């Protein structure tokens, strides 16, 4: 707003050809997501292979411990990927000269409709913000 007030708007925008807008997307945590998944996989494989003897050896406590550590690394990686998905804040930036259609959804608390009779005895409907 010109006076510096901030008004939340719920709307969707498309290009003039009614296709999704194309621009620079930020806030998806893609790099962090790939890094966490990679390190989690490497940690799981490393925990299973470090200290592994021959495959013909009987099951021992160290084998169970390696499996448990591997599961813990995998679960921690899954939790971090879930946290990254929840905390992502996607922002799409498009250039200022891009023509767009904006379709806003009506929110009853932001729009007030009032009718006032005019001098010509017809009703004028005014939209104003609360």
Q: Which residues contact 70 (CB under 8 A, 6 or more apart)?
A: 43, 44, 45, 47, 48
pLDDT at 18: 85
Cα separation, 40 vs 81, in Å, equals: 10
pLDDT tens by residue, 67-90: 899 999 999 999 999 999 888 888
Helix, strand or coil for residue 46?
helix
Contact 36, 101 (CB under 8 A): no
- The CA angle 90-95-98, to the nearest 5 degrees, is 110
pLDDT at 106: 63
pLDDT tens by residue, 111-120: 444 444 444 4
pLDDT at 124 over 60: no
């Amino acid at each position: 707003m010109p006076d510096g007030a901030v008004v939340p708007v719920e709307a969707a925008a498309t290009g003039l050809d009614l296709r999704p807008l194309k621009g620079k997307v930020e806030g998806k945590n893609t790099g962090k997501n790939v890094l966490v998944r990679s390190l989690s996989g490497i940690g799981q494989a490393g925990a299973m292979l470090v200290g592994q003897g021959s495959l013909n050896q009987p099951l021992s406590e160290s084998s169970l411990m390696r499996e448990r550590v591997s599961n813990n690394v995998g679960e921690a990686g899954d939790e971090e990927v879930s946290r990254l998905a929840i905390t992502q804040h996607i922002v799409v930036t498009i250039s200022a000269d891009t023509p767009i259609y904006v379709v806003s959804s009506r929110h009853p608390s932001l729009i007030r409709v009032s009718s006032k009779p005019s001098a010509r005895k017809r009703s004028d409907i005014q939209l104003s913000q609360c």
